[in-house]
């Protein structure tokens, strides 16, 4: 029993360490982090919520971004991006809507779903990794 509990605690500690690595990476790219590990009821969690400015058609757009962080060892069978499956995307989408409603953010505000993958020592920021899933 203690072994299983320790595995779970270790998994959380490892996950937290990689989320911190992703957070530092995003900060170095100029994002404005507004929330870490946002939980919405029993639906789920979003690792990092932030604003990211991008130029589109000559205009600066401030995106509200919902980001999942995925880590995989180099020898993992499933890549980090593949680990964010349809079910996970649907949960992230529900939690994002919960965040928007809870914080009275206009539903027409530009939003984006990103994934930061950490494969070994490589960090990859995938902007607009997926669309909202109902």
* Residue tagged 């069978």 (tokens): 77
What is the structure's pLDDT at 77?
A: 56
CA distance 88 to 108: 23
Tell me the per-residue pLDDT of 69-124, one tens digit each, with 9 for 90 and over: 998 766 555 666 777 899 999 999 999 999 999 999 999 999 999 999 988 778 99
What is the structure's pLDDT at 9?
A: 55
CATH architecture of 2-130: 3-Layer(aba) Sandwich (3.40)
| Nearby residues of 88 by Cβ (< 8 Å), 6 or more positions away | 68
Tell me the per-residue pLDDT of 36-68, one tens digit each, with 9 for 90 and over: 999 998 889 999 999 999 999 999 999 999 999
Find out whether 19 and 47 touch, Cβ atoms under 8 Å: yes
What is the structure's pLDDT at 6?
A: 52
What is the structure's pLDDT at 93?
A: 96
């Amino acid at each position: 029993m203690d072994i299983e509990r320790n595995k779970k605690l270790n998994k959380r500690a490892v996950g937290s360490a990689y989320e911190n690595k992703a957070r530092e990476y995003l900060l170095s790219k100029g994002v404005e982090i507004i929330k870490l590990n946002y939980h919405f009821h029993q639906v789920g969690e979003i690792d990092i919520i932030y604003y990211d400015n991008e130029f589109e058609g000559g205009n600066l757009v401030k995106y509200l971004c919902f980001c999942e962080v995925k880590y995989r060892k180099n020898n993992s069978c499933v890549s980090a991006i593949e680990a964010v499956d349809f079910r996970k995307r649907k949960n992230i989408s529900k939690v994002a809507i919960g965040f928007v409603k809870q914080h009275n953010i206009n539903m027409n505000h530009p939003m984006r779903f990103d994934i930061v993958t950490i494969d070994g020592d490589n960090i990859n920021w995938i902007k607009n990794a997926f669309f909202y899933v109902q």
